[in-house]
Chain A
Amino acid sequence: MSSLTSASFGLVAAWVVISAPCRADAQSNSDSRLTRLDATTRVAVAAVVDSARKTRLPTEPLVDKALEGARKGADGERIVAAVRSLFSELRTARVALGAGATSDEINAGANALHAGLPMRNLAQLRSAAQHAGRARVTLPLTVVTDLVARGVPIAVTSDIVLSLVRSGLRDADFGLFQRNVRLDIEHGADAATAAQTRARGAILHGGRSSH
């Protein structure tokens, strides 16, 4: 091989070495907080956390879910089931939200999926946010989960939040909308009616409160 060819290969090799992601073989370091769990549960949870780490999903929500279960006195089987379920939801949320989604968005997306939001609606919400120039969907997704938790049917919730996102509603106005709906429900209003009414107002007025 000529010296010139050797130099060329050396150049490419150097480039490859420099440019390749320098990543240590990520061993599964068990989170020390998991020692609160019994051995069997700990092993099962650590395996799920490990899978999440390797697929670059946020691991903290999984550890947190396990610790929550331990704190609430749930048995090992229930904790493992909850962690696995969340793992699946995080994965689905990431697919729907696409590359570029932050950990908080993925987490919020998983919560929304758990609340019953269909995956396609999650993808739609992301798409709508991008078109409306909204950088993050964390807050709208939090609103989805909250409305469902307060009794607004998921289909209605999904339509409402999608409309609010499309209208370009700001974060502060989202917060105001949420508060208004909550107060209306606490005053005895039907959840869906309150949400739809307040949504129309929020879009019209940019979220100005009447409370």
Chain B
Amino acid sequence: MDRSTDAQIVERVLRGDAELYAELVQRYRDRYARYALHMLGNREDAEEALQDAFTRAYRSLARCEDPERFGAWLFRILVNRCRTMGARRGRRLRTFVSDDLALYEAAEDHPAERNAWREEIERALGRLRPEQREAFLLKYVEELGYDEISRLTGAGVSALKMRVMRACDRLRELLSDVVDDREVREERGLPEVNDARHT
């Protein structure tokens, strides 16, 4: 069955078929929820930012200049919403509740272990500067190219590369005590010793 393109759906919504907007919501909600969740650090904020982005996108749908790239346009709105919310609420400790994530995802193989690891990562992410976290997530998690990130954020490519590099350095520093000893040794070219897995 042929799936309607984003442009086709946008056109029909602009002609009055509001219900069809639900199709766009379903297409993009999960993927963009991931970005909002990692950027803002908790489920409530992420849902609010995402919901806000979708409703703003609907309101200004006529201003979407390239409906074929509705997703990218929506994502830009979401990135801005996350920035606004993050700025308004200030830097704060993110209380990432692993239960929240379990509600989002499919069944875990080893929930306790994975959740502990996840919490460490999220905590470390939360301690990055917002612009570094944003650049890191867009580059490595959302897998966008630097040109696209530049268009999205307004920052220059070299500034973005610097932010990503600093984010990686900082994450390494923050996560160094939870990363597997073995991985660290491998990275540094050190000989094998008895396995001592950090928890």
Contacts and interface: CB of A to CB of B under 8 A. Distances in A.
The answer to A–B direct touch (Cβ < 8 A) is yes
Contacts of A21: 88, 90
Contacts of A54: 42, 44-45, 89, 92, 95
Given A25-B90, A54-B92, A47 B97 contact: yes
Given A91-B48, A95-B48, A95-B51, A25 B42 contact: no
B91 interface: yes
Interface in B40-56: 42, 44-45, 47-48, 51-52
B196 interface: no
B93 A25 contact: yes
A103 B171 CA distance: 39
A25 B91 contact: yes
A50 interface: yes
Chain B interface bracket (under 10, 10 to 19, 20 to 34, 35 or more): 10 to 19
Interface residues of A, number: 13
A51 B44 contact: yes
A55 B49 CA distance: 11
Contacts of B92: 25-26, 54
A48 to B, nearest CB: 10
Nearest to A24: B90
A102 B137 CA distance: 35
Given A47-B97, A50-B95, A23 B90 contact: yes
Nearest to B47: A91
Interface string B71-109: 000000000000000001111110101000000000000
Interface in B139-156: none
A23 B95 CA distance: 18
Contact of A55 (B44, B91, B93, B97): B44
Interface of A: 21, 23, 25-26, 28, 47, 50-51, 54-56, 91, 95
Q: Which 7 A-B pairs have the closest CB atoms?
A: A23-B90, A55-B44, A25-B92, A51-B44, A95-B51, A55-B45, A26-B92
14 contacts: A25-B90, A25-B92, A25-B93, A26-B92, A47-B97, A51-B42, A51-B44, A54-B44, A54-B45, A54-B89, A54-B92, A55-B44, A91-B47, A95-B48
